[in-house]
Structure formats: structure tokens, C-alpha cells
Chain A
Amino acid sequence: MNWPHKDIVAIADLSREEIYTILDMSTSFKEISKRDIKKVPTLRGKTVVLLFYEASTRTRLSFELAAKRLSADTTALSASGSSFQKGETIMDAAFNVMAMAPDCIVIRYPYAGLPRKLARELPCSIINAGDGTHEHPTQALLDMYSMREHFGTLEGLQVAIVGDIAHSRVARSNVYGLQKVGAHVTVVAPKTLLPPGVRTWGVDVSCDFDPVIQEADVIMMLRVQRERIDEQCFPDEREYAYFYGLNKRRVDMMKPGAVIMHPGPMNRGVEITHDAADGNRSIILNQVENGVAVRMTLLYLSLGGNVNGD
């Protein structure tokens, strides 16, 4: 098998076959995390630097555990506590990190486009851990993995993505990925939280949650990203919860066998209630578990082979 990518910047770059390669391989990597000794020697001697210029719990920990379970060395740096605060530009920071010869940089950044620029300018592998409102490819891959694990297939699956579509990189990456594997996506949001051009995405768009619930196999709830919203998009959180929150009443309307997903962090009481998040339809913690396996696969594919072929 040949893996042509040095970097993982966007789902938009991956073919359907490549997505399936990642999903298939992740099952093997998942087994490692179930062992007493959760470590294989595969990436011994490789260095992975995690540069997080935005808050993260899950993604950062998940990448770090994935790298460590493959025996790579990891160092994590966040915006607070780095020279970012002293006014160093991001490109200066990146060239300085590169001078210390990492094999891979995992980057999260508040604005779109930086991972692509780093991928072009730096010789090491770049993995995008979320750039602004652009993409979060590893999240979409772990979401697709979790859906396929649960339903056995992605083809024909009805997926509703609900909430702050406008500011969500998770929504964008999932839409690109799910379309490639033949799932059907409906995005649900108030008009103020739909991005311009959403009609060109090739998905169904609805501002009314209830009719969509009854059709969906997967309901993926998104957090309202207060930190990216600079104007008022809805009157208040209670009203948002009333129209777009997943609560007991709506859970009871779901199709038999349908599941609830959320990329985290959750704002309980806003987009999701306890009944939905902790009930037996929730596969939210499976998503987290699968995240480590999927990221192990991506590190293996990005670092495991010799890209130059010598």
C-alpha cells in the first residue's frame, strides 16, 4: 500500500479509498489500547511536537496518548507560556520549532489556513488539530469510525449535524467526509448560525429540528462557539435550548437504533441535556475512545514510512 500524503490538513484532500484505509487500520490500533502494556515500538525515535494555540482537552490528550502508545517522543506547547505572548509571529515560532528537528507537528490554531501554510513550508509532517472555522479532519475521521463501528456501514446513513454550523470546523470536515463515503447529511441551525454558501455544500439544510430528528440515524450535536461569535445570533440560551437543544422530548422522538454524538466539550443545558448526553443512545465516550486509535493510524501513516522512498 502507498500512502501519498506527508500531511493531514483537511478531509477535502483525502479520497474515499484513503478514508476507508484509515478507518480499517484504526481497528487494529484500537486493540493496543485494550492491552495491559499499551505500547508498541513502531515510532521509536520519532518526535511529535504538539502546538496548541487554542484551548483543548480531548484532542491534545488524544494525540499525545496516540503518539506515546506508538513509542514516539512528544512535547506539547500551548499559547500561554510560549513566546507567542511576547509578540513572536507564528511563522517565526514554526521555523524555530522546525530547527529542533521534529518529525511531526500537530497544530491547532484559531485562524483558518495555517496548517496548509506550514505543510507547504516545513519538511516535517503537519497534522491539523483544528484551524479556525476551516477543518478538524481527525475529529471527522473518528466520528466516521464511530458511526461505522456502530452501524457496520456508512453508506446510506442519515446524519443530522445540529447547532453552530457557521463556526464549526467539525461540521465542515464531517460534511466533506460523510459525502465521500456515501452518507446523507442534513445540517440544522437557526439562520443566524448557518454560514454563507451553505446551500452549495450539497447537504440538506433545515431550520426546524423536530422533523429531522425522526429521520436521522445519527444526531450530532455541536457546541455554540461563544468565543467565535461576535454578535448576537439568538436571543438567549434558554430560547436556543428550546428550539435546538437535544432534550428528553426530542430523544423520545428518535428512530429506534439512532445514536447521539457530540465532539465535546458539551454545554449541558444548552445544546444537550443530561438525558441525551448520558442516556443509552449516546456514543459520545466511544468517540473519545476511538479518537486515540484513529490518531495512532494517522501518525503511523504520516511517520511510519519513508516518503522519499530511499
Chain B
Amino acid sequence: MAEIPRDSVQVQAMLRKLADELLDSLKAWDTVAFIGIRTGGDLIARSLVRLLEERTGKRVPVGVLDITLYRDDITRRRAYPEVKSTDIPFAVDGKDIILVDDVLHTGRSIRAAIDHIVDLGRPGRIFLLVMFDRGGRELPIQADFTGMKISLPDEKVIKLEPDAGKESIAGVIISEVKR
């Protein structure tokens, strides 16, 4: 298994590889739109869209999804998840949505995100793109585009670190779960 990218240079290489894959598989860009799951997915979606707009010369719409209200564990948690805004500046109807998240683990966040998107309209298709797939699924959900499959012990979490302007990814942090 390849080494997990840690700095921005390695992350950029991975993003370019994902952009190549997207350009190979998606032919008609007129209906494509990106939706990132707050906050890691949002960062990746915006970084990818910048790369793709350079390569295709087309404007690619991008939005951000807050899935807090769609979680299945709201009444089980001690702390209240803070509700932030969803901001999708385009109609999702008929669009080919690339749903973007940083880490695919149990699949529960993706379930919540899909439920949220279908409340906003009826997309043509929804694809799933993730930076890291760490296994451990609890729902039958798989990614269409994966940056890297990784294996991590349960007590570790992997997160993206934004740069100071919160516009691009400065690095990847692996830390212990806070209990």
C-alpha cells in the first residue's frame, strides 16, 4: 500500500490524478456539478473544480452541503452538532452530481448527504468521490472515484488541514480519536 500523502505537494499530485480520472470518465461537462460535504469535502471539491476549470475551460458549479440535520445519531450524542449552512448555488435537477467527501468510512455521512441532496431536487445521477477510503462500511455504499485506499486502526482519525485562507489543502493530519 502506498504511503499516505502528508504535505500539500503530495496532496496536489493526488488531486491531479483524481482530475485525470474524472476527465477520462465524464464526457459531457455541461451537466456536471460538484457538491462537497462540509468541511473536508468542501475543500477538496473546490480544489478539484479549480483544476478542472483550467483543464476544460468551462465553468463548473460547486456547492457545499451541511449534513448535520440528516445525521442518524443526533439524539445519541452528548454534544450538539453545530448546524451550519448548506449553500448550493444551482438547481440539482437533472445534474450529474459529483458528491465529494474527504474520508469514506462507515458510509453513514454519505447516506445523510444523499438524503439531503434528494430533498433539494432530483439529480440525473450522483457519483461519489473520496480522497481516502479507510474501509469499515456499515452501509452498502461505495465510491466511484477514490484517491487512495488506506488502512488505519480504529482509534486513529484522518483529516485534511486547510491553508490559512481555507481555500486549498495544506496537508493531511492523522491523530488519535478524542474519547
Question: Interface residues, chain A, CB within 8 Å of chain B?
Answer: 1-3, 25, 27-29, 31-32, 35-37, 39-42, 70, 297, 300-301, 303-306, 309
Contact = CB atoms under 8 A, between A and B. Distances in A.
Contacts of B66: 28
B84 A28 contact: yes
Interface of B: 66, 69-70, 74-86, 115-116, 119-121
Given A28-B66, A39-B119, A306 B78 contact: yes
Contact of A305 (B75, B86, B115, B116): B75
Nearest to B120: A35
Contacts of B82: 1, 25
Contacts, number: 58
A28 B85 contact: yes
Contact of A42 (B74, B84, B86): B74
Given A29-B83, A31-B86, A304 B119 contact: no
Contacts of B119: 35, 37, 39-40
A151 B105 CA distance: 43
Nearest to A300: B83
A304 B79 CA distance: 10
Given A2-B78, A41-B115, A300-B83, 9 more contacts: A1-B81, A25-B83, A27-B85, A28-B85, A36-B121, A37-B120, A42-B69, A305-B75, A306-B78
Contacts of B78: 2, 305-306, 309
Interface of B is mostly: loop
A27 B82 CA distance: 12
A3 B85 contact: no
Contacts of B80: 1-3, 300-301, 304-305
A40 to B, nearest CB: 4
Contacts of A36: 120-121
Contact of B74 (A31, A35, A37, A305): A305
Contact of A304 (B74, B85, B86): B74
Contacts of A39: 119
13 contacts: A25-B82, A28-B83, A28-B84, A37-B119, A41-B69, A297-B83, A300-B83, A304-B74, A304-B75, A305-B74, A305-B75, A305-B78, A306-B76
Contacts of B69: 32, 40-42, 70, 300
A213 to B, nearest CB: 36
A297 B69 CA distance: 11
Contacts of B86: 28, 31
Contacts of A305: 74-75, 77-80
A37 B69 CA distance: 14
Contacts of B77: 305-306
Given A28-B66, A28-B84, A31-B86, A1 B79 contact: yes
A40 B82 CA distance: 15
Contacts of A306: 75-78
A171 B127 CA distance: 52
Contacts of B74: 42, 304-305
A227 B85 CA distance: 42
A40 B78 CA distance: 21
Contacts of B76: 306
A2 B79 contact: yes
A153 to B, nearest CB: 19
A62 B133 CA distance: 43
Nearest to B76: A306
Contacts of A304: 74-75, 80
A14 to B, nearest CB: 15
B67 to A, nearest CB: 10
Contacts of B116: 40
Contact of B70 (A31, A40, A300, A301): A40
Nearest to A29: B83
A2 to B, nearest CB: 6
B45 to A, nearest CB: 19
B96 to A, nearest CB: 20
A35 B119 CA distance: 8
A304 B73 CA distance: 10
A297 B82 CA distance: 11
A29 B75 CA distance: 18
B77 to A, nearest CB: 6
A31 B66 CA distance: 12
A304 B74 CA distance: 6
